Amino acid sequence: MRPDEKTRSRAAKFSRSDAQMMMPHPLRLDLTKRYSVFNHSSTALNTKPRRTVLLLGATGYLGQFVQLALGSVPSILLINKGGSRDLDFTKPWDDDNLGKDDIVVDVVVNCAAVSQPGECAKDPERARLVNVPRGLVEWIARRKNNKPLLIHLSTDHVYEGTRSFYKETDEVNPVNHYGATKVEAERLIRSLYPCRHVILRSSIIIGPQAPITPVNRPLLLQFIQTALASGKPTSFFDDEWRCPVSVHDVVDVITACTLRAEEFEHAGETFNLGGPERLSRADMAEIVSDLCGLDRSLIQRVSALTVNRGVKSPTDISMDSSKIEGFLGRRLTSFKETARRCLSERIGT
Ligand SMILES: NC(=O)c1ccc[n+]([C@@H]2O[C@H](COP(=O)([O-])OP(=O)(O)OC[C@H]3O[C@@H](n4cnc5c(N)ncnc54)[C@H](OP(=O)(O)O)[C@@H]3O)[C@@H](O)[C@H]2O)c1
């Protein structure tokens, strides 16, 4: 079987009928709840074997949501490593930091990264050390009796951005250092740890402010809403396209992979993880503006080429995420629905 055929047959494993997609997923999160993230009966989960999950990057935007969600599943014992103070990827790897083979780890979730393309461009060496987690992957690969599932966060920036709706089987060709480090990490994982890994190529993650400690960068939805509410005209790119994904969908996927770790025992998987629509930032601003009853005429559509961001940005990295929808058994949340739930507190609906 050729490699692309192998990938296609694996993809088929995760395809589901439309009828199945419409069925409520048992792990569906309630977006209206900030702290108690799970909205399901824990009975089914209690019957699953207890598993230990090591979460890296627990202090980051996504990591905070993941720790609250996994921490609330009764059958999961969660070990958090909250960023560079706990386990610094730029320092030589020290097995003792995680405990040698005596600590049983069933799943490792790696949310640690230098996640902003601009930051990666400013300090490429640090970005590479953190984003290509060689020490971590080697540690996992050499464990003898206990081989955990590695869930690793990658990005849509692995694609070149010259076409729409990339599939997992399409060629990767990043245009910036951030994307290049993520491609290198993916290759490292596939070569050193070919089974028991899940690589999630996430698009821009949207959602409420981080639930434990606010992150010190503007979040997309909140930035748009605040800018338009100020009553001042604001520029938004109308020639770069993304598939923004709800943070709760990302958490749902990580939780499902954790609870279904056995499905990846004999093969690693790569999934695109983007919302259902291909949108420019100007499109997103219009949706937020309409939802919040703000003045659409304040949105100035401009080309991304008019601004020097100090880092090259891919044009169209919209993705086809049907494979992960098949795995999850439901459609991912639309931008409008995520924005509505997330901004409802702010707009009083
Ligand atoms: N957010 C998005 O829109 C988006 C989109 C696509 C893909 N992703 C990917 O999703 C993952 C999570 O993103 P995020 O938005 O949650 O990132 P984030 O908010 O920037 O958090 C990054 C995490 O990595 C940790 N970290 C940074 N440098 C480290 C180091 N030297 N050693 C160990 N840990 C270190 C940070 O800890 P401290 O800084 O506290 O030390 C923090 O916990 C990343 O892999 C990112 O590339 C995110």
Distance CA 93, CA 134 (A): 9
- The total number of structural domains in the chain stands at 1
> Roughly what angle, to the nearest 10 degrees, separates helices 220-229 and 335-347?
50
Distance CA 167, CA 178 (A): 20
Instruction: State whether the beta carbon of 254 lies less than 6 angstroms from ligand 1.
Output: no
Give the domain range for residue 81: 3-217+246-275+320-333
Instruction: State whether the beta carbon of 191 lies less than 6 angstroms from ligand 1.
Output: no
For residue 341, being part of any structural domain is answered with no
Instruction: State whether the beta carbon of 112 lies less than 6 angstroms from ligand 1.
Output: yes
Q: Can you tell me which residue has the tokens 């707009």?
A: 347
Point out the ligand 1 atom lying closest to the alpha carbon of residue 90: 31
- What's the pLDDT score for residue 38? 30
For residue 228, being part of any structural domain is answered with no
Contact (Cβ atoms closer than 8 angstroms) between residue 222 and residue 45: no
Residues forming beta bridges with residue 81, ordered by sequence position: 56
CATH label of the domain that carries residue 266: 3.40.50.720
Instruction: State whether the beta carbon of 63 lies less than 6 angstroms from ligand 1.
Output: yes
Instruction: State whether the beta carbon of 179 lies less than 6 angstroms from ligand 1.
Output: no
Instruction: State whether the beta carbon of 215 lies less than 6 angstroms from ligand 1.
Output: yes
Q: Which residues, other chains included, contact 226 with Cβ-Cβ below 8 Å and sequence gap of 6+?
A: none
10-residue averages of pLDDT along the chain (349 residues): 45 53 38 30 48 96 98 94 92 80 87 98 98 96 92 98 98 98 98 98 98 95 97 97 98 98 96 98 98 97 93 98 98 98 72
Element (H, E) at 61: helix 61-71
Residue type, 112: A
Q: For residue 16, report the distance from its CA to the centre of ligand 1, in Å.
A: 32
For residue 343, being part of any structural domain is answered with no
For residue 23, being part of any structural domain is answered with yes
Q: Check residue 227 and report its DSSP letter.
A: H
Instruction: State whether the beta carbon of 62 lies less than 6 angstroms from ligand 1.
Output: yes
Q: For residue 111, report the distance from its CA to the centre of ligand 1, in Å.
A: 6
